[in-house]
Amino acid sequence: MAGGIKVYFPYPKKGERLNNGKIYNLDRENWREMVSSGIVLVDFYAEWCPPCLKIEPILEKIAKEYESKIKVCRFNVDEDDEIPRKYYVQILPTLFLFKDGEVVSGIEGMANPASIKKIIESIL
């Protein structure tokens, strides 16, 4: 605390879990490890993006509901642009569903819970 003002950063350091402990923070260093096996939902986002902030509670619920079946992760496009460029991310938020490292489905823009669950259920 500096000068009586508490500074709060809502996102933990790279590689740590976010929010409810069920969403993982991705970066270039942990990308391959996290996405290469199993089913992984990745949210490409930016902290300045209002729809990205709106989708966060939806992702928290999805992560909790599908906890034993998939990993839910977020990738901040402002911290690294190499991976978003590789997957042609142009709209925020963009959700991609990976299975064993390969993109199997995705949603660009603000998605509702039913749409996200539909793509997850299609691969389970």
Instruction: Spot the catalytic one: 35, 52, 55, 107.
Output: 52
73 is catalytic: no
Instruction: Spot the catalytic one: 39, 49, 83, 119.
Output: 49
Structure tokens at 117: 């669950």
88-118 burial: b if 16+ Cβ within 10 Å, else e: ebeebbbbbbbbeeeeebbbeebbeeeebbe
52 is catalytic: yes
15 CB neighbour count, 10 Å cutoff? 13
CB 20 within 8 A of CB 63: yes
Give catalytic residue positions: 49, 52
